[in-house]
Amino acid sequence: MPKLLASLTALFTALALVVAVGSIPAAAATISVVSMQYSAGHPVPHLHYEGATEDGDLATLQALYESFVKCRLSCIGPEGGATALLTLNGPGGSYYEGLAIADYLRANHIATVVERGATCYSACAFAFLGGSGYSPQEGIGTYIDRMVEPGSIVGFHAPYADEENFTNAMKERGAMAVQGDTRNSLAVMVKELVKWNVDPEVLFYMVNMGPDETYNLVAADDLYLSRTALPPTPTSAWVTNLQEAVRNVCIRLVSNYERADPLDIKETFPTEWVPQIGKTEFGTISGFRLGERLLDIGSCAVTDESLTTNGDYEVALYMTPGIDGTNAPMSSFFNRQEGWSSMGIGGNPVKRILQKGPLNHYLLPIGVPIDSLDLPGEAAVEANRFYMALPPLMATLPDGFELQPARLDARVSSKGNVVVFERVGTAALFDSAAALPGLGRVFTNNAGNEMSFVREGTYSDTGSPFVWFGLKVGDTATVIEAMVVRPDGELADDADMAVLRELMCGTLFAETRLSCG
């Protein structure tokens, strides 16, 4: 058996990147490392979870993370980020294993994404909820970082037992005991959903779903209720009518303020746009009139100044004018292309609406599947992860590298103790990697130009050596990162360093290679 297909039990005595065969049951998920750079918004190691959730999946995920995610909190700058990102595609399975995976993701600040065409049901959906990032900024720390792409499905339902197991349990233990198990499972589910900051308004839908039904996150209000976001992309790619977009935000502001479902608020919310409906100490506001009663909500409006920005909108529920004629905000929405977006208030970042980057889905229609809107934002999501319908061919590596089955845009290989992760895609792949500051690394070589870069050094946390380089040819690019992973736990030797050098100087992409002196 090739080393890179070794079983999990051999992970610490041989080099293992795909650990779904061997000692892992056939029904368990395949968990793999795809690349070291997922997207422009999340330029971190990309892990992938494929298949049914079974006991042992957490141990597999943990082994991969600890072996190949070499740079953790030391790589996160003051603006915040994740240590890695996990994409998921699975039908469900062990409910409690899914919850354990969610806890692990949050504890290690691993973001989650369900991509276009993928589905993530039941136990997979609960694992998805653990997607998190971290910021050293005072008052932030751990925050929610879970995303879905249009055209994907994340589906929830209550835990259940199939008919055969349910009948057997009834015979063996009696109706009252089985009823108690069901009650306990539902109680755990509700407790966990509250823990992951899912809006209480959605609990009814999730608990009410039977074994053949799911509550699916497909519309913008589903994302709002589950505190899930679209991948970070420019707000301008999602807004076609600015006044309608502000109205959609306002409906969600009222829903959050009144603890209601946006679908219920939508039917009675005003449609007339009132320019310069009021003023604040910072300028005029425009929006929708909600009432005239003194010391009560008078309007939901956006600051006129923020309307002139590239999407950094500031919307709030405003009280009726005070004695000085100004309107004071009661509950606010801040959308930021860079930095932190938020709605409402709250001291705990994992218990409030807080997102690094824009909250674009708040500006989208209520009750309409996002994928059906056919907005430019969908192409922006693909551009964010360097997608090409026909990606360039992978680079030609020097002789002796063991190549594993590859995706069209990513490949893993090895030679000796050196593991190689490759990505190909648009030129933005190169630009994104070249712009990274290299936190959590000590460079012995850091050079580059408009068409290539090369960085050599060691990871600060482990002292493990690496090479990291990129080549851009026209509108295509490759970025390659290789690291030394020794099964004996020893430091890299001269042979390992020679392989790294051979890779760096001998790799050919689109008839182009690095210039090694």
Q: How many domains does the chain have?
A: 3
- 239-260 confidence digits (pLDDT tens): 999 999 999 999 999 999 999 9
Same domain, 361 and 407: no
Whether residue 173 has pLDDT greater than 50? no
- Pairwise pLDDT comparison (73 vs 174), residue with the higher score: 73
Q: Which has the closest alpha carbon to 85: 44, 124, 120, 115? A: 44
Same domain, 33 and 175: yes
Tokens 């509950």, located at residue: 331
Same domain, 465 and 334: no
211 pLDDT band, cuts 50/70/90, is low
- Residue 391: inside a domain, yes or no? no
- Residue 395: inside a domain, yes or no? no
pLDDT of residue 205: 79
pLDDT of residue 7: 31
The identity of residue 323, as a single letter, is I
Query: Looking at 40-44, 180-184, 354-358, 417-421, which range is the least confident one?
Result: 180-184
Query: Looking at 12-16, 62-66, 92-96, 489-493, which range is the least confident one?
Result: 12-16
- Residue 374: inside a domain, yes or no? no
pTM of the model: 0.90
Same domain, 257 and 331: yes
- Residue 433: inside a domain, yes or no? yes
- What mean pLDDT do residues 386-393 have? 96
Same domain, 364 and 452: no
Whether residue 189 has pLDDT greater than 50? yes
Q: Which of 176, 200, 226 is the last residue of a domain?
A: 226
Question: Cα separation of 69 and 136, whole Å?
Answer: 19
- 109-124 confidence digits (pLDDT tens): 999 999 999 999 999 9
pLDDT of residue 28: 80
pLDDT of residue 168: 43
* DSSP per-residue letters across 184-208: HHHHHHHHHHHHTT--GGGHHHHHT
153: domain range? 3-226
pLDDT of residue 225: 94
- 43-53 confidence digits (pLDDT tens): 999 999 999 99
- 306-316 confidence digits (pLDDT tens): 999 999 999 99
- What mean pLDDT do residues 437-450 have? 94
489 pLDDT band, cuts 50/70/90, is confident
Q: Which has the closest alpha carbon to 7: 42, 43, 31, 37? A: 31
Whether residue 130 has pLDDT greater than 90? yes
- Residue 512: inside a domain, yes or no? no
159 pLDDT band, cuts 50/70/90, is low
pLDDT of residue 183: 53
pLDDT of residue 6: 36
Same domain, 319 and 412: no
Is 187 exposed, middle or buried, given 0-12, 13-18 or 19+ CB atoms closer than 10 A? exposed
DSSP H or E stretch at residue 129: none
488 pLDDT band, cuts 50/70/90, is confident
- What mean pLDDT do residues 365-374 have? 96
First to last CA, the chain: 38
Same domain, 278 and 210: no
HSE (side-chain half, CA atoms, 13 Å) at 230: 31
pLDDT of residue 184: 64
Q: Which of 226, 245, 275 is the last residue of a domain?
A: 226
- What mean pLDDT do residues 181-193 have? 68
- Residue 381: inside a domain, yes or no? no
- Residue 418: inside a domain, yes or no? yes
Whether residue 338 has pLDDT greater than 50? yes
**Residues β-bridged to residue 215:** 156
Same domain, 111 and 165: yes
pLDDT of residue 476: 98
pLDDT of residue 306: 97
Same domain, 139 and 46: yes
CA quadruple 150, 309, 303, 333: dihedral positive or negative? positive
pLDDT of residue 182: 47
Mean of per-residue pLDDT scores for the chain: 88
Whether residue 27 has pLDDT greater than 70? no
pLDDT of residue 26: 36
The identity of residue 406, as a single letter, is A
191 pLDDT band, cuts 50/70/90, is confident
Query: Could you tell me the CATH number of the domain that includes residue 166?
Result: 3.90.226
- Residue 255: inside a domain, yes or no? yes
188 pLDDT band, cuts 50/70/90, is confident
DSSP H or E stretch at residue 115: none
* DSSP per-residue letters across 138-199: TTTEEEE-EEE-TT-EEEE------HHHHHHHHHHH-HHHHHHHHHHHHHHHHHHHHHTT--
Question: Cα separation of 133 and 84, whole Å?
Answer: 9
Same domain, 31 and 155: yes
pLDDT of residue 20: 27
- Pairwise pLDDT comparison (134 vs 15), residue with the higher score: 134
- Pairwise pLDDT comparison (223 vs 172), residue with the higher score: 223
- What mean pLDDT do residues 290-317 have? 95
pLDDT of residue 179: 46
Same domain, 197 and 55: yes
- What mean pLDDT do residues 201-230 have? 87
Q: Which of 183, 208, 226 is the last residue of a domain?
A: 226
Structure tokens at 209: 């779903």
Same domain, 255 and 329: yes
Whether residue 19 has pLDDT greater than 60? no
pLDDT of residue 186: 65
